[in-house]
Structure 1
Amino acid sequence: MLTPRKIEIFKAIVTEFIESAEPVGSNTLIEKFNLPYSSATIRNEMSDLEKLGLIEKTHTSSGRVPSTKGYHFYVEHLMETEDNRAVENAITQVFSDRRLDIDEAIRQSSDIISHMTNLTTVVLGPSAGDQVLRSVQLIPLNELSAMAVFVTEGGHAENRIFNFEEKISVEDIEQCTTILNERLKGTQLKDIVEKMESLRPILSVKLHQYEVLFEAFVGAFIRFAQSEVYLSGERNMLYQPEFANIDKLRQLTEMLEDSQMWQELSKRHDNLRLQKSANSELMWIDDMAVVSSTLRLEDDSEHQLMVVGPNRMEYGRVVSLINYVATMVEKVYGKGGQDERNEEE
């Protein structure tokens, strides 16, 4: 049973571990939090908290650290949102700049959050897979490179630079562009790679170096159809003791850059996931925590904003900030916000 005394001691353990990243012992709790209990009493209460699964003992110390279950309980029942007025003012300034499009506003906001929290932020752009291709343009830059411009019916455009290992003629590039526009216009991006396979025989007849161009376009379309990933504050993980191991850090970096993994993660529903508010939810993966928010825009498209860090992150501060960004996105770029911007412009 969780008594008020157990909750007081547990909350002190979480607070101290978030700050120090060191296992917490009874003497530390007495000295730093002025708890009016003896060391023996605190140790007994810590033993009960351990049996409840809220804290756990480390292998290197007699102190305790919060468990994933403990963080879940802390966020759900004990966490207090913090006053982040200075940071919120900086984010407000970003959204007041009407020259910025939604992507740049969210990215600048994520930069501010990562800088002020010393954590890593991840922004997932809306998946382009359901969008329909309007046109393709391939612009030669030199004999070994070209820039492709893809435009969808929704007006979304993306550029991709191709670097070829062998020289490609301008004639082949022009012919390839013509064929792709004739055969792929009106196709959903998620279906383009499959449809391109059926064009392979046509390209092989029409182009001298069709294989090089074919592989380049397939790779570009795959990346275009996936969500774009924007990372901010990756280096912040270097200073977290939980990720001091270089192999673990490398694994984390690869994971951060995997948009498909984040998309799948955002759809997971398990007991390590907590809906904190209408704008934010939390999930725990091993010794890593993720606070995320789905940012819904006026055109019904969605961005995902995530703050990633160790389990001992300052949850109150992070949840408060991510909620604030979600509120600003809804106000400025959500339904109703479009009319306000047009009036101001």
Structure 2
Amino acid sequence: MNAEERRFAVLRAIVADYVATKEPVGSKMIVDRHNLGVSSATIRNDMAVLEDEGLIAQPHTSAGRIPTDKGYRVFVDRLAQIKPLSAAERRAVQSFLEGAVDLDDVLRRSVRLLAQLTRQVAVVQYPTLTRSTVRHCEVVALTPARLMLVLITDSGRVDQRIVDLGEVLTDDDVAQIRTLVNKALTGRQLAAASAEVAELPNQCPPHLRKVLTSVSTVLIETLVEHPEERLVLGGTSNLTRSASDFPGSLRQVLEALEEQVVILKLLASAQDTGNVTVRIGEENEAEDLRSTSVISIGYGPGTVVGGMGVVGPTRMDYPGSIAAVHAVARYVGEILAGH
């Protein structure tokens, strides 16, 4: 290997050992643990260059070195491909997630899994309505004068609404309403769907106009309803295990995690289901999170409907955490696509 490759190997060794032991890493430790085939003196020279480049630093009290935010960034950028989970881990992820009964359960299980796999704090954003598409609307006659509407979106969200009609419908009327409603809704994003539904009373047979006015009013409320964007959080106690990794205070980090807007902003930038985003230390916009790294990805059934990820100290197992976030997001996407 040339000098540059060897220096990266030294950086990689320092990252690996510091993440594993929490102790600053010296040249002798690298010679003993990592078979780089060069002398201790050569490694000391390489460490001096890495320090000049701002990739490692020397804590005051120690002869060893630790990676800087910039050093972690170089390390993460050189992770050529995502280290896959082992077959056993993949099976465990799949069977745990496939046991879920509904969307809420899928998201709760995802958070528990991510927190366990990475030993960090896991965050998952509920699917945002604005990006969802209507998959189907079921229209069920509960009584001849009462309908139940069941709206299903591609993000796995199911909304049920009851409409009291004040007049009696035949089975044929219900079938006709079902056809008209689905023609207006199916395959459309929510905003476009609500515009189509608003037109329904003007386009239907006269005897159904009053009924469809009631139905479309209820549907529009469902389609444009924007409940507060919700987050599921798990594994917060994992942070306390590494309290010494937060030079300022752990409380700041915990407060930032409670501030949903801060986390939603982080996850909102995850627009792609294939690419994991890693923000390290100072790269985080939120000041309270500058002692942390955030690994995030978009998830969904092909299109992104929300974000998920983990938050932990900058001294984290990046290859393992990136692999876990990537795998869990992929399985959640597959579950949503299959529901």
Q: 2:312 aligns with which of 309, 314, 320?
A: 309
Q: 1:79, 1:315 within 8 Å by CA — same for their partners in 2?
A: no
Deviation digits for residues 208-259 of structure 1 (CA, Å, limit 9, x no counterpart): xxxxxxxxxxxxxxxxx322121111101111144467x7111111111222
- 5+ residue gaps, structure 2, are 133-149, 161-216, 282-289
Q: 1:281, 1:291 within 8 Å by CA — same for their partners in 2?
A: yes
Query: Who is 1:333 aligned against?
Result: 336
The one-letter amino acid of 1:332's match is I
Superposed counterparts of 1:154-233, under 5 Å: 155-156=158-159, 188-189=224-225, 225-233=227-235
Q: 1:79, 1:316 within 8 Å by CA — same for their partners in 2?
A: no
Deviation digits for residues 181-217 of structure 1 (CA, Å, limit 9, x no counterpart): 99x9579456xxxxxxxxxxxxxxxxxxxxxxxxxxx
Q: 2:91 aligns with which of 89, 92, 96?
A: 89
Query: Who is 1:295 aligned against?
Result: 299
1:292: Cα distance to partner? Answer: 0.8
Deviation digits for residues 149-194 of structure 1 (CA, Å, limit 9, x no counterpart): xx9997548xxxxxxxxxxxxxxxxxxxxxxx99x9579456xxxx
Query: Who is 1:280 aligned against?
Result: 276
Relative to the length of structure 2, the TM-score reads: 0.64
Q: Call closer, same or farther: CA 1:92–1:187 in 2, change over 3 Å.
A: closer
Q: 1:280, 1:292 within 8 Å by CA — same for their partners in 2?
A: yes
Query: Who is 2:39 aligned against?
Result: 38
**Cα distance in 1 for residues equivalent to 2:273 and 2:268:** 17
1:44: Cα distance to partner? Answer: 1.2
The one-letter amino acid of 1:309's match is G
Q: 2:120, 2:239 within 8 Å by CA — same for their partners in 1?
A: yes
Query: Who is 1:64 aligned against?
Result: 65
The one-letter amino acid of 1:304's match is G
1:329: Cα distance to partner? Answer: 2.1
- 5+ residue gaps, structure 1, are 132-150, 158-180, 191-224, 270-274, 339-345
The one-letter amino acid of 1:95's match is L
1:92: Cα distance to partner? Answer: 0.6
Superposed counterparts of 1:255-270, under 5 Å: 255-267=256-268
Q: Call closer, same or farther: CA 1:295–1:276 in 2, change over 3 Å.
A: closer
Q: Secondary structure at the match of 2:249?
A: helix
Q: 2:295, 2:311 within 8 Å by CA — same for their partners in 1?
A: yes
Deviation digits for residues 259-310 of structure 1 (CA, Å, limit 9, x no counterpart): 21112223569xxxxx998242111232311111111247x67232111111
Q: 2:131, 2:305 within 8 Å by CA — same for their partners in 1?
A: no
The one-letter amino acid of 2:298's match is T
User: Number of matched residues?
Assistant: 251
Query: Who is 1:16 aligned against?
Result: 17
**Cα distance in 2 for residues equivalent to 1:301 and 1:10:** 35
**Cα distance in 2 for residues equivalent to 1:228 and 1:260:** 10
Q: 1:122, 1:256 within 8 Å by CA — same for their partners in 2?
A: no
Q: Call closer, same or farther: CA 1:28–1:188 in 2, change over 3 Å.
A: same
Superposed counterparts of 1:84-163, under 5 Å: 84-97=86-99, 100-127=101-128, 155-156=158-159
1:15: Cα distance to partner? Answer: 0.8
Q: Call closer, same or farther: CA 1:304–1:249 in 2, change over 3 Å.
A: same
Q: Secondary structure at the match of 1:3?
A: helix
Deviation digits for residues 76-99 of structure 1 (CA, Å, limit 9, x no counterpart): 2146615433332221112333x5
Q: 2:117, 2:321 within 8 Å by CA — same for their partners in 1?
A: no
Relative to the length of structure 1, the TM-score reads: 0.63
**Cα distance in 1 for residues equivalent to 2:266 and 2:295:** 12
Query: Who is 1:239 aligned against?
Result: 241
**Cα distance in 1 for residues equivalent to 2:48 and 2:311:** 30
Q: 2:124, 2:232 within 8 Å by CA — same for their partners in 1?
A: yes
1:110: Cα distance to partner? Answer: 2.2
**Cα distance in 2 for residues equivalent to 1:232 and 1:119:** 9
1:58: Cα distance to partner? Answer: 1.9
Q: Call closer, same or farther: CA 1:294–1:276 in 2, change over 3 Å.
A: closer
Identity %: 28
Q: Call closer, same or farther: CA 1:2–1:307 in 2, change over 3 Å.
A: farther
**Cα distance in 1 for residues equivalent to 2:131 and 2:277:** 26
Deviation digits for residues 84-117 of structure 1 (CA, Å, limit 9, x no counterpart): 33332221112333x5213312321321221232
**Cα distance in 2 for residues equivalent to 1:12 and 1:153:** 50
